[in-house]
Chain A
Amino acid sequence: MNPTHQQESLPAENTPNTPRSYNWWGATFTFFRRWPVFPAFVLIALVFGAIFAYQIAPYDPDAQSLRDRNTPPAWFTDGSTKYLLGTDHVGRDVLSRVIHGSRISLAVAGVSLASGLIAGVVLGLLAGWYGGKTDELITRLVDIWNALPFLLVALVVVSLFGGSLIVLMSVLAMVSWVGFVRTVRAEVFIVKNHDYVLVSMICGASTYHIFKRHLIPGVTHAILVVATLAVGGLILTEATLSFLGAGIPAPTPSWGLMVSEGRDYLTDAWWSSFWPGLAIFLTVMSLNFLGDWLRDYFDPKLRQLV
Chain B
Amino acid sequence: MFSLSRVASDPILLYASPEGYGKTPEQLDAIKKKLGLDKPFFVQYVIWAGNALKGDLGRSLVGERPVKTVLGEKFGNTVELAIAGWLLATIVGVPIGVISAIKRGTVWDYIGRFVALFGLAVPNFWFAIVGVLIFSVWFEVLPSGFKGEGFSIKHFIMPTVVVGTSSMAGYLRMTRSSVLEVMDSEFVKLARAKGVSSNIVIWKHVLRNALIQPITISTLLLAGLLNGTLVAEAVFAWPGLGRVMLEAVRANDFPVMMGGVLFFVIIYIVFSLVADLLYAVVDPRIRYS
Measuring CB to CB, which residues of chain A are less than 8 angstroms from any residue of chain B?
Answer: 1-3, 8, 11, 140, 143-144, 147-149, 151-153, 155-157, 159-161, 232, 236, 239-240, 243-246, 256, 259-260, 262-263, 266-267, 270, 273-274, 276-278, 280-281, 284-285, 288-289, 303-304
Contacts of B137 in A (CB 8 A): 266-267, 270
CB <8 Å contact, B22 and A160: yes
B6 interface contact, C-beta 8 A: yes
Contacts of A288 in B (CB 8 A): 117, 120-121
Known: A152-B261, A152-B264, A244-B230. A277 touches B126 (CB 8 A): yes
Contacts of B23 in A (CB 8 A): 160
B187 interface contact, C-beta 8 A: no
Contacts of A144 in B (CB 8 A): 7, 10-11, 14
Nearest CB in chain A: distance from B113 CB, A: 7
Complex Cα gap A247–B159 (Å)? 24
B46 interface contact, C-beta 8 A: no
B89 interface contact, C-beta 8 A: no
CB <8 Å contact, B121 and A143: no
CB <8 Å contact, B132 and A266: yes
Contacts of A2 in B (CB 8 A): 104, 176-177, 180
The residue that B126 contacts in the complex, of A147, A161, A267, A280, with Cβ under 8 A, is A280
CB <8 Å contact, B269 and A147: yes
B105 interface contact, C-beta 8 A: yes
Complex Cα gap A181–B272 (Å)? 20
Known: A140-B3, A274-B130, A284-B121. A3 touches B104 (CB 8 A): yes
Nearest CB in chain B: distance from A30 CB, A: 13
Contacts of A244 in B (CB 8 A): 230-231, 234, 246
Complex Cα gap A15–B228 (Å)? 47
CB <8 Å contact, B123 and A151: no
B190 interface contact, C-beta 8 A: no
B21 interface contact, C-beta 8 A: yes
Query: What is the total number of residues of chain B having a CB less than 8 Å from a CB of chain A?
Result: 53
Complex Cα gap A217–B42 (Å)? 43
Minimum-distance CB pairs A-B, first 10: A277-B126, A285-B121, A160-B22, A149-B264, A284-B121, A149-B227, A243-B125, A147-B268, A155-B249, A280-B123
A-B contact pairs, 13 of them (CB 8 A): A1-B176, A140-B6, A143-B3, A144-B7, A149-B261, A149-B265, A155-B249, A159-B250, A266-B137, A281-B122, A284-B123, A285-B122, A288-B120
Complex Cα gap A192–B59 (Å)? 53
Instruction: Map CB proximity to A onto B7-41 as digits: 1 under 8 Å, 0 otherwise.
Output: 10011001100100111000000000000000000
Smallest CB gap from B3: residue in A: A143
Complex Cα gap A289–B249 (Å)? 35
CB <8 Å contact, A256 and B264: no
Nearest CB in chain A: distance from B103 CB, A: 13
CB <8 Å contact, B7 and A152: no
